[in-house]
Structure 1
């Protein structure tokens, strides 16, 4: 069980996310304007809607999204453009074809290109854990670590295999130890699910239903007895 954390502390762990493919620049701008009120530090949006007024927030954007089936050089170029357009953090989708082929040198080489393009910025590697075996999760996390990533991330939220699970988060945490962060993302829609991910070892959360989850979290905390162990 994780130590009790406040609503504000939880908000600080969230990448408040808007990645619908039909999002307009106007909708993205409105999303950022409203995000500040939630108390989050970061939002995650598609690179095509950048640049935007940050409203004092950090911008996370995605690369090779959502399939990951892009050449590494293309992902690196996309990264450079996103950073030029004001992104602060990069979430890159791993090439699942290389993963399924067991080409770990290829996985590492591609991620190294993105790492080199994003020096000085946080880099998260999306592994689509629901589509992978446990052995593939472990090997992909190790390749990401060797390439210099800062985080491994469960899911895009768009893969038909599904999103984050506590089992995958725990396995990812066990694999990377304290060396990397673990971001749980995809299908997390309640305070109970958030708690499960935190207990499994997540240090960052990708959420689209942020407002409802934070309200639920705050409500549960206020309803708890004064001597409760909390979250």
Structure 2
């Protein structure tokens, strides 16, 4: 597989304009990226721009803090799917995880997965704020809740993906969930290293630079 097949071409900037999202979609089509990753309000624009093509639309929910109510996250996820999103990237409730409210974290992920049915769910654990034990526990909870992916980062925290975190997540999730590395992946060599480590998806706003 080519690097393009792994890329979720991303623009989650609060300043992203309609023109920016349309440009993102055009680049995704040009380079053959797997998906675009956008904020919920941009899902209809992205869906229209990518109509009848192979590029998927992924939407973020509970983004970037993960601290919304479960009910709000479930509604947001369903709204994104109804508007044409193929995939959902959710942020876990980091405070709950750190409070050892494991049932609440698991139940929230499970509720979102059930709400979106057979659509892909990626669970962002925001590794930069977690201890090694918390990263491992977050992956286990995501697997128990039947998430499709565990994802390193929002790109809005104090740090992004690292090779060490991906190795840990791979060990914790085993073959029960795929891994998405996101945050700070800006060159081809880094992307290739993540692919060698076993990630199935890379979230980056630098997609065209990775291909050129």
Q: With the length of structure 1 as denominator, give the TM-score of the two structures.
A: 0.87
The residue that corresponds to 2:16 in the other structure is: 23
SS of 2:13's partner is coil
User: 1:180 offset after TM fit, Å?
Assistant: 0.8
The residue that corresponds to 1:218 in the other structure is: none
Question: Residues 87-116 of structure 1: CA distance to partner in whole angstroms, max 9, x if unpaired?
Answer: 000000000001111111110011111111
User: 1:26 offset after TM fit, Å?
Assistant: 2.9
The residue that corresponds to 1:42 in the other structure is: 35
**Alignment of structure 1 residues 79-228 onto 2, 5 Å:** 79-160=77-158, 162-215=159-212
SS of 2:44's partner is coil
The residue that corresponds to 1:219 in the other structure is: none
Would you identify which runs of 4 or more consecutive aligned residues in structure 1 move more than 6 Å?
none
CA RMSD of aligned residues (A): 1.1
Q: Distance in 2 between the 1:58 and 1:85 partners? A: 13
Q: Distance in 1 between the 2:195 and 2:168 partners? A: 13
The residue that corresponds to 1:51 in the other structure is: 44
Aligned length: 207
* Deviation larger for 109-118 or 91-100: 109-118
Q: Distance in 2 between the 1:130 and 1:73 partners? A: 26
User: 1:159 offset after TM fit, Å?
Assistant: 0.5
Question: Residues 152-175 of structure 1: CA distance to partner in whole angstroms, max 9, x if unpaired?
Answer: 000000002x00000000000011
User: 1:208 offset after TM fit, Å?
Assistant: 0.6
Q: Distance in 2 between the 1:42 and 1:50 partners? A: 12
* Aligned partners of 1:68 and 1:93 also within 8 Å: yes
Q: Which runs of 5+ in 2 are unaligned?
A: none
Q: Which structure would you say has the larger Rg? A: 1
SS of 2:122's partner is strand
SS of 1:97's partner is helix
